[in-house]
A and B are shown apart, each in its own frame.
Chain A
Amino acid sequence: MALFRCEEMALYQLFLQSEAAYNCVGEMGEIGLVQFRDMNPDVNAFQRKFVNEVRRCEEMERKLRFIEKEVKKEAHINIPNNVPDLKQVPAAREMNELDNQLEKLENELRELLSNQEQLQKNFLELTELKQVLLRTSIFFQEADSTRFAAAARDDREHEEGEALLDVEGGASGGVAGGGTNKLGVVAGVIKRELLGAFERVLWRVCRGNVFLKHADIEEPLTDPTTGDSLLKCVFIVFFQGEQLGNRVKKICEGFRATLYPCPEQTAERREMLKGVEARIADLQVVLDQTLSHRTRVLESAAANLPLWFVKVRKIKSIYHTLNLFQVSQKYLQVQCWIPITDIPKIQAALDKGTSDAGSSVPSVLSQVPTKEQPPTFNRTNKFTEGFQTIIDAYGVSSYREMNPMPFTVITFPFLFAVMFGDCGHGLIMALFAGLLIWKEKDIIAAKSKNEIFMMFFGGRYLIFLMGVFSIYTGILYNDLFSKSMNIFGSQWAIPQDVAKTLAGYSDNTDTVELDPKDSFKDKAPYPFGLDPIWQVADNKLDFLNSFKMKLSVILGVMHMLFGVVLSLLNHTYFRKPLNVIAEFIPQVLFLGGLFGYLVFMIIYKWFAFDYTNSASAPQLLITFTDMFMLSAPDDELYSGQYTVQVIILLVGVACVPWMLFVKPTVLYMRHRNPAAVKGQRSNLPHQCLAVEMGQLMDNSLPLLTLAVFLKLRNNRVNRFCCFTAIRPAGG
């Protein structure tokens, strides 16, 4: 059955008519049970038939990513997360429609973006100009007042705002030759953090012959390209002479300060200010409208975005799969691996695909007899998937080999619980995993990208079982948040005479040791778990460590024997009696003889010795090592122990060359003489030496000897990688 071994696979040849090919492949993708083989392995990826379609799909994905980026910039637009998977193959013509739609959308967005940038640049310039006009009016008034003093000497009538200062920003000319009364002006805006350096450079270059005034702009301004908000300030530089003017302008360029023409007359300035403010208001309106239009476009796009992503990926994967086909004029053909039990499903999918495409010629699915080793396919559901992943991490099983997964479901959490053993913490683990299981539909739909959480979520059934078993072992170890529970009453009693003498003790750090002869006589052991008195005992660890070591040996040997028995099932299934004789039997003798004997000794000692003969109870570790050193035991567990142990040891030692040399020798002789090969069912067709030796690689013990001689290639196992459609939610 498919639970204990992987599914039976067969190699099929698929012929599809060219019209129906797209739909059929799409339907098979939705089912997700077919592994296609590449029929054109030596064809370059760029020379395959459907490479243009794949390229188009990639272009569409690029556009989708661009649109998604734009949508994400507007934080208030929500991209819907749980799109139900309709399990529909997107029609072939949908690719064209989608392509056009995305192209239009992308162009529109790019246009909007560039317009917006331009508008914002203008807006920034106007705002800066307005600030310049506002602030420099102060400077000019100061200049005016000084001029009044100067003009009083000249005794001439002044118009307000007659120029002592020539406006020079941007214009050529200026005071040629530099009359001593005419100053040139440069006004502009510079970033605040550059101002200090700017001032210093100006001072040094112009040797202190320029005059800089500056004022901060309070509101931060937005940089159109990057979107950062910057703090800037207005500056104005007064200088005399053309050369100084050029130097000042060069320095302004170097510091990337923007210069603005600033009219000197107050009236002109006022006019300019009004004009600028009007233009700013207009521009603001246009900007707002642009932004709202952009938001509308993005909102309508965001609603469809996940669906489009899924469709494009499906189309792309269909064409990518079609590239694997061998193309001729009328039809396409491919070889694929299909699980035998799913043939009707595949056939139905093919029929649906052909009818959707409106083609009259049905697709042909015919089996190809082959001797190749099929890929390993383990069908899993949401419960077994986590465990199968863990097993596959150790190594994917060969085709039709025993799958350890059904057994791991229990043994893995159980062994964890034996090591964990606290029922309080186990309860917490079980509750946590239980919560994950209860909410699993919602969590899957939320599609979180948090890797650590998804790791825990993927192992929720495993963690739940670990918690449940930990509760059980915690109760047995009598460990509730590291405290013991006394449910049935301790079986250890302090005898009366000891109790009387207790009152006489004044030094409270003394201890009294209870002798089982007096304190445990005629008692049944604590019915469920460890007796609670051990928690308050000083020699708790003496007792507990010995117990835990024995428990580990017992459980470990049981597990190893179980594994060896599973290998026997493999040998019987593949009908290899040689493996049974040369591998299984010596393994069982070795394991059972040596370590099974240890288990026997542990259990025997539990029954045979109690307080009456505890003085003569041998220590098992010493007994075991003495066995290997062939020295006679000081205390015997049972009579005749020495003889029995020697026999077991000899048998165990004899098993080692049995395991190492028998099978390679037989195989070597067998392949020197091919007529001796009898019919065997195997998962590999060729009985060639390299392949058989490769099988040896799967069992660790007997291979290394011959491998050194023959320099073998390892036999790689193929995992079944089926072509699945994309499942966006509720996988």
Chain B
Amino acid sequence: MGAAFATFCIWILMTVFWALIGVAVPLIIPEKIENRRLIQTMLLLTSVSCYTFWLCIFLMQLNPLIGPELEIRTAQAIVEEWQS
């Protein structure tokens, strides 16, 4: 099940990354920085929005129901360039 493992790896990597940015970094910002609250809010919102966006794209391509429809020439080029 290489695919499932790879999928899980990618997912855990991104989740940990955005969790660090959204949860860990705001907690370690020193108290005396002037706009601390604002920076915390910004980091949290950024990580939530960007993670959601990435997740939606990732999940959508997890189990595709339709495949791409390629022109013959394009398909030939793909066989040559990307698959050899």
A positions within 8 Å CB-CB of B = 1, 3-4, 381, 383-384, 406-407, 409-411, 414, 418, 472-473, 476, 486, 489-494, 498-499, 502-503, 505, 507-516, 519-520, 522-531, 533-534, 536-540, 542-543, 547, 550-551, 554-555, 558, 603, 606-607, 609-611, 614, 617
Contacts and interface: CB of A to CB of B under 8 A. Distances in A.
Given A512-B75, A524-B3, A551-B53, A534 B45 contact: no
B7 A538 contact: no
Contacts of B67: 492, 513-516, 519-520
A508 B71 contact: yes
A610 B65 CA distance: 6
B78 A494 contact: yes
Contacts of B78: 490, 494, 533, 536
B60 A512 contact: no
Interface in B31-62: 35, 37-38, 41-42, 45-46, 49-50, 52-54, 56-62
Contact of A523 (B3, B45, B69): B3
B16 interface: no
A622 to B, nearest CB: 15
Interface string B1-29: 01110110010000000000000000000
Contacts of A531: 61
Contacts of A529: 54, 57
Cβ-closest 8 pairs across A and B: A610-B63, A537-B68, A514-B67, A525-B61, A524-B6, A410-B45, A614-B65, A524-B7
Contacts of A534: 68
Contacts of A473: 53
Given A489-B82, A494-B75, A551 B56 contact: yes
Nearest to B79: A499
Contacts of B38: 3, 384, 406, 409
A589 B6 CA distance: 38
Nearest to B81: A486
A476 B52 CA distance: 12
18 contacts: A3-B41, A409-B45, A411-B45, A492-B67, A498-B75, A502-B76, A511-B70, A514-B70, A516-B67, A525-B7, A526-B61, A529-B54, A530-B57, A536-B78, A543-B66, A547-B57, A550-B60, A606-B63
Contacts of A516: 64-67
B53 A418 contact: yes
Contacts of B45: 407, 409-411, 414
B53 A539 contact: no
A614 B67 CA distance: 12
Contacts of A525: 7, 10, 58, 61-62
Contacts of A524: 3-4, 6-7, 10
Given A3-B37, A476-B57, A611 B63 contact: yes
A606 to B, nearest CB: 5
Q: How large is the interface on B (under 10, 10 to 19, 20 to 34, 35 or more residues)?
A: 35 or more
Contact of A494 (B57, B69, B83): B83
A527 B69 contact: no
A534 B74 CA distance: 12
Contacts of B61: 491, 525-526, 530-531
A381 B38 CA distance: 11
Contacts of B73: 508
A536 B70 contact: yes
Nearest to B77: A536
Contact of B72 (A502, A533, A550): A502
B69 A381 contact: no
Contacts of B42: 406, 409-410
A708 to B, nearest CB: 39
B79 A494 contact: yes
Given A407-B45, A494-B75, A520-B64, A528 B54 contact: yes
B68 A514 contact: yes
Contacts of B83: 493-494, 499
Nearest to B74: A536
Given A493-B83, A515-B67, A414 B49 contact: yes
Contacts of A414: 45-46, 49-50
Given A407-B45, A511-B69, A536-B70, A555 B52 contact: yes
Contacts of A490: 78, 82
B68 A606 contact: no
A486 B81 CA distance: 12
Nearest to B4: A524
Contacts of B72: 502, 505, 507-512
Given A407-B45, A558-B52, A540 B63 contact: no
A251 B33 CA distance: 86
B37 A1 contact: yes
A600 to B, nearest CB: 13
Contacts of B71: 508-511, 536, 538
A710 to B, nearest CB: 39
A386 to B, nearest CB: 14
Contacts of A410: 41-42, 45-46, 49
A520 B7 CA distance: 13
A382 to B, nearest CB: 11
Contacts of A406: 37-38, 41-42
A527 B10 contact: yes
Nearest to B82: A490
B70 A538 contact: yes
A486 B78 CA distance: 12
Contacts of B46: 410, 414
B74 A603 contact: no
B42 to A, nearest CB: 5
A503 B76 CA distance: 8
B56 A609 contact: no
A609 B7 contact: no
Contacts of B75: 494, 498-499, 502, 512
Nearest to B78: A494
A607 B53 contact: no
A696 to B, nearest CB: 29
- The CB with the most chain B CB atoms within 10 A, among A414, A490, A525, A531, is that of A525
B62 A542 contact: no
B70 A537 contact: yes
Given A507-B72, A519-B67, 13 more contacts: A410-B46, A414-B46, A414-B50, A472-B53, A476-B53, A493-B83, A498-B75, A509-B71, A512-B70, A513-B67, A514-B69, A536-B78, A539-B68
Contact of B66 (A523, A542, A558): A542
B15 to A, nearest CB: 13
Contacts of A547: 56-57, 60
Nearest to A615: B65
Nearest to A617: B65
Contacts of B65: 516, 609-611, 614, 617
A634 to B, nearest CB: 17
Contact of A554 (B3, B41, B52, B70): B52
Contacts of B74: 536
A491 B6 CA distance: 12
A110 B73 CA distance: 84
A260 B67 CA distance: 98
Contacts of B35: 381, 383
A121 B45 CA distance: 74
A434 B76 CA distance: 44
